[in-house]
Structure 1
Amino acid sequence: MLPKSKQSTILLALLSIIPPISAVDETHDPATNAKLLAAATELDRQKILSSDTQWIFDFHAQQTYSYSPGSVINANAATFPAMQSTGMTLAMLNLGPCAMLPPHLHPRATNVVVAVEGMTTTYMVEENGARAVTEVLSPGKMTIFPRGSLHTMQNMGCGNATLVSALDSSDTGTLNVINQLANLPNDIVQAGFGNTAAAQFWKNVDKSQIPGVGSGSNLGSADCIAACKSGQKVGAYEGR
């Protein structure tokens, strides 16, 4: 077996050639969802969800499950009809070496995130005038991202990081900020930057090079990637 440092180097080299998978949740069983929405009682729901297999969700079996570079797997009304009346979503966040969830927000949900593996640094800004909150999540530690807050996170180690996220909506919505800026007219975004050098930089950015939403994750900071490629031990890089 290859040493861990060699494994990390090979893994990081492969990440750029793995095709993206869409992280947008599509409704798997619209007919069952429609019946559940029309159900008057929980007993009616039990009749609709008559098979035991309709009450279990296997995160590992989902098409988007990956640590290359990572993925967000949502169990919600769209992917798991039994969640229809719960008013919540449970997500598994998989982050490979140096992987990150890019800056995003959930317009319809507050979410709490707990780490179960690895070391992940999170950043959150709730609104104009609020300070940026930074946390380091090691296994067993949790943080909160209030509804509509801008947040992001990165695995700061050279091994995998896994987190579980609970959100108080079965239809949370996710808006990746940089991707959506790229969908606005250049002159409008430039004006938002104050028509400064930063605005000119944005104008010249090749928008096609901005990582797509993909499976919810993309590679993170260049410093982390360089540290892992140099053979540092898992968790040695902490982004400082």
Structure 2
Amino acid sequence: MKFLPISFFILALATAIALAYDPSPLQDICVATNNLDSGVFVNGRFCKDPNQATADDFLFMGLRNPGNTANPLGSKVTPAFVNQFPGVNTLGVSMARIDFAPGGLNPPHLHPRGSEVQFVAEGMLLAGFVTSNQLNNTFFTKVLYKGDVFAFPIGLIHFQLNIGNTYALAFSSFSSQNPGIITVANAVFGAKPPISVDVLTKAFQLDKKVVDYLQAQFWYDNN
């Protein structure tokens, strides 16, 4: 009987891990389709008849071309999530390309459904993430060079900034077919309808005029 508490703890931990990520597939392939007559609905998308799947369903060419960085952030994210890449449906993986102009920023954001591993293909990036309140909002940051890889844990706020004088390029892999993106500034100050000014002035200890100014800005989405 003395081992029962440990057993229950291990079971609870295993259950929490299992629920934290995309469910494992129970079939070889489940290519996402917009055809609602397919009759098979798995993890948020309908699936194509596997007998009608082709090699093209598992090919995505959208990461070949540079993204347009001529925007206020100087960066562009090109996702290869399930909505763009139907073949990854139920596979629990996806990718993205991030292009950076000199000084370009992929602003503080988080992925609620997936961890991220990023590979720097060109240039030099300052990258970092902040832990939750549980670890006192500890900030982990590194300067990344061509060939370096950095990991961003699921659900934690992170960013990348091009600190070099040249173009930079990175590729990211995710532990989810649809990791999701929440850009912090856009969500807080660009919410529709807007979050109460009383909430924001107290939460951020800002003057109402500052909050009004921030809420009046156009918060660009680089995704």
Q: TM-score, normalised by structure 2?
A: 0.71
Aligned to 2:203: 192
Larger relative contact order, structure 1 or 2 (CA cutoff 8 Å, min sep 6):
1
Is contact 1:32–1:81 with CA below 8 Å preserved after alignment?
A: no
After the TM superposition, which residues 111-130 of structure 1 pair with which residues of structure 2 at under 5 Å, given as runs? 111-128=116-133, 129-130=136-137
Is contact 1:35–1:48 with CA below 8 Å preserved after alignment?
A: no
Distance 1:178 1:121, change over 3 A: same
Aligned to 2:83: 78
Aligned to 2:156: 149
Q: What 5-or-longer segments of structure 1 have no aligned partner?
A: 1-27, 39-43, 217-240
Q: Deviations over 1:176-220 (max 9, x none)?
A: 1111111211111111124xxx3445324242424321x33xxxx
Is contact 2:67–2:98 with CA below 8 Å preserved after alignment?
A: no
SS in 1 for 2:35: helix
Aligned to 2:179: 172
Aligned to 1:48: 52
**Paired residue type of 1:102:** P
Distance 1:32 1:110, change over 3 A: farther
Aligned to 1:207: 215
> Does residue 100 of structure 1 match 2:111?
no
User: What is the aligned counterpart of 2:61 among 58, 62, 87?
Assistant: 58
SS in 2 for 1:172: coil
State the 4+ residue runs in structure 1 displaced beyond 4 angstroms.
32-38
Is contact 1:112–1:142 with CA below 8 Å preserved after alignment?
A: yes
Q: What 5-or-longer segments of structure 2 have no aligned partner?
A: 1-31, 43-48
Higher strand fraction (1 or 2): 2
Distance 1:48 1:76, change over 3 A: farther
Q: TM-score, normalised by structure 1?
A: 0.66
* Deviation of the 1:142 alpha carbon: 1.1
Counterpart CA distance in 2 for 1:79 and 1:206 is: 32
Is contact 1:120–1:156 with CA below 8 Å preserved after alignment?
A: yes
Aligned to 2:25: none
Distance 1:181 1:136, change over 3 A: same
Distance 1:192 1:125, change over 3 A: same
SS in 2 for 1:59: coil
SS in 1 for 2:82: coil
Counterpart CA distance in 2 for 1:211 and 1:112 is: 26
Aligned to 1:139: 146
Q: How high is the sequence identity, in percent, across the aligned residues? A: 23
